[in-house]
Amino acid sequence: MGATVLLTGGAGYIGSHTLVALRAAGHDAVLLDDFSNARGDVPDRLARITGAPVTVWRGDVRDRALLARLFAAHRFDAVIHFAALKAVGESVERPLDYIDVNVTGLVALAQAMRAAGVFRLVFSSTATVYGTPEAWPIPEDAALRHESPYAFTKLTCEEALRQAAAADPRWQVGILRYFNPVGAHESALIGEDPQQPPNNLVPYIGEVALGRRPALRVFGNDWPTPDGTGLRDYIHVEDLAEGHLRSLEHLLAGRGGHVVNLGTGQGTSVLEMLAAYERAVGRALPHEIAPRRPGDVAVLVADPSRAAALLGFRARRTIDAMCASAWAFVSRRATGG
Ligand code: UDP
């Protein structure tokens, strides 16, 4: 029988795709979301994709009274915690807000879980916990350092969970360090839908393709990489969602906590990503070379071997599939679909 899973931030970009993956595997989920960075129609869209209504609790993960009611109303086998603030640049301006939402949110959730006797937790972490890496591909045992308040919050949450698990062996925690999630569900009904102007590469190229921005600014072409632009490990969000399913099932099978990278192991440059998006759109898109963006690094690529060995997880989808699905989603959204 399938598990019942609480997805905090479940209406967001990665949470929504994970709900689809869970249901396809015979599990079910309840969403907790405050809709601060998700559209109100996401639950209806999820119901259309999966063929069944979705239970949604609207609220803030820091709201302890709400959490107590939620855990009293449902018997959860596990929790996947996505709800968090995630813009690195914004975190530099609003560190206390990031610490409050991300760290206080995790602590409130974990305490509510403990009170309800739920000890399986999959946690959304990030490759930014590696800071500026010394070498790549990056294995999970590489040095960790925070170079932004955002990275600090994720590293603090990871450490809090490590300490909780060391103190109480009932905790089974899967920590998933995401590289660069992009793309959208094949239905084009859900995808990355930021409520603020996008800073990330693929949503920004989407804006250029829609004619809302004049040109992509390529942040530096003098990096020590083959074409001089930054290399990242882009992972299709549907692959990423499957990574969550594997992590969850590993915990449900009692095989223990883990820390794994979710990436492909392949580096793709800014110009290669732009070219893939141009193939998806079917025309050239304007770009210009701009100065390097503060805080960027040349290369960020995962060593995906632990995820393969431990969870049997391998990302399968190509860069072209990522860009085609991203474009299908944003172009449909732009016409009201
Ligand atoms: N990038 C760019 N122009 C943009 C946004 C991003 O050239 O408008 C580059 C950025 O410098 C990095 C890569 O695209 O090399 C991925 O950036 P993104 O913000 O998507 O993810 P990050 O790796 O910073 O988390």
Domains plus CATH for the chain?
4-182+233-264+301-315 (3.40.50.720)
Mean of the per-residue pLDDT values of the chain = 97
* Three-class SS state of 241: helix
> What spacing in Å lies between the alpha carbon of 326 and ligand 1's midpoint?
16
Q: Is the CB of 104 under 6 A from ligand 1?
A: no
- Predicted local distance difference test score (pLDDT) of residue 196: 82
| Whole-angstrom distance, CA of residue 214 vs CA of residue 183 | 22
Q: Which amino acid is at 110?
A: A
Residue 134: pLDDT over 90: no
- Predicted local distance difference test score (pLDDT) of residue 60: 98
Q: Which positions are annotated as active-site residues?
A: 150
Residue 337: pLDDT over 90: no
Q: Is the CB of 207 under 6 A from ligand 1?
A: no
Q: Is the CB of 287 under 6 A from ligand 1?
A: no
Q: Identify the bridge partners of residue 173 per DSSP, sorted by sequence position.
A: 121
Let me know the angle formed at the C-alpha of 36 by 7 and 4, rounded to the nearest 5 degrees: 10
Q: Is the CB of 32 under 6 A from ligand 1?
A: no
> Which atom of ligand 1 is found nearest the CA of 205?
8
Going by pLDDT thresholds of 50, 70 and 90, the confidence category of residue 194 is confident
Q: Is the CB of 200 under 6 A from ligand 1?
A: yes
- Among protein residues, the one with the nearest Cα to ligand 1's atom 21 is 200
**Mean per-residue pLDDT, 266-284:** 98
Residue 109: pLDDT over 90: yes
- Is the pTM of the predicted complex or chain greater than 0.85? yes
| Whole-angstrom distance, CA of residue 82 vs CA of residue 102 | 10
**Stretch (H or E) spanning 238:** helix 237-252
Going by pLDDT thresholds of 50, 70 and 90, the confidence category of residue 226 is very high
Alpha helices in 74-227 (DSSP H): 88-93, 95-98, 105-116, 149-167, 201-209
pLDDT (tens digit per residue) in 30-73: 999 999 999 999 999 999 999 999 999 999 999 999 999 999 99
- Among protein residues, the one with the nearest Cα to ligand 1's atom 7 is 218
pLDDT (tens digit per residue) in 136-154: 999 999 999 999 999 999 9
Q: Is the CB of 161 under 6 A from ligand 1?
A: no
Q: How many CB atoms lie within 10 A of CB 226?
A: 11
**Mean per-residue pLDDT, 199-222:** 96
**Mean per-residue pLDDT, 227-249:** 98
Long-range contact list for 95-104, CB < 8 A, 24+ apart? 95/149, 95/152, 98/149, 98/150, 98/153, 99/149, 99/152, 99/153, 99/156, 100/62, 101/61, 101/62, 102/150, 102/153, 102/154, 102/156, 102/157, 103/153, 103/156, 103/157, 103/160, 104/62
Beta-sheet pairing, 268-269 with 231-232: antiparallel
Going by pLDDT thresholds of 50, 70 and 90, the confidence category of residue 271 is very high
Pocket test for ligand 1, best of 86, 128, 212, 232 (most atoms within 8 A of CB): 232
CB 157 within 8 A of CB 102: yes
Q: For residue 42, what are the CA distances in angstroms to 91, 205, 332?
A: 26, 23, 15
- Predicted local distance difference test score (pLDDT) of residue 195: 78
Q: How many CA atoms lie within 13 A of 10 on its CB side?
A: 27
| Whole-angstrom distance, CA of residue 46 vs CA of residue 211 | 28
- Predicted local distance difference test score (pLDDT) of residue 6: 98
Q: Which of 37, 28, 51 is nearest to 189 (CA)?
A: 51
> What spacing in Å lies between the alpha carbon of 48 and ligand 1's midpoint?
33
Let me know the angle formed at the C-alpha of 176 by 316 and 148, rounded to the nearest 5 degrees: 115
Beta-sheet pairing, 28-33 with 4-8: parallel
Q: Identify the bridge partners of residue 31 per DSSP, sorted by sequence position.
A: 7, 56
> Which atom of ligand 1 is found nearest the CA of 204?
8
DSSP assignment string, 94-137 = -HHHHIIIIIIHHHHHHHHHHHHT--EEEEEEEGGGG-S-SSSS
**Mean per-residue pLDDT, 307-335:** 97
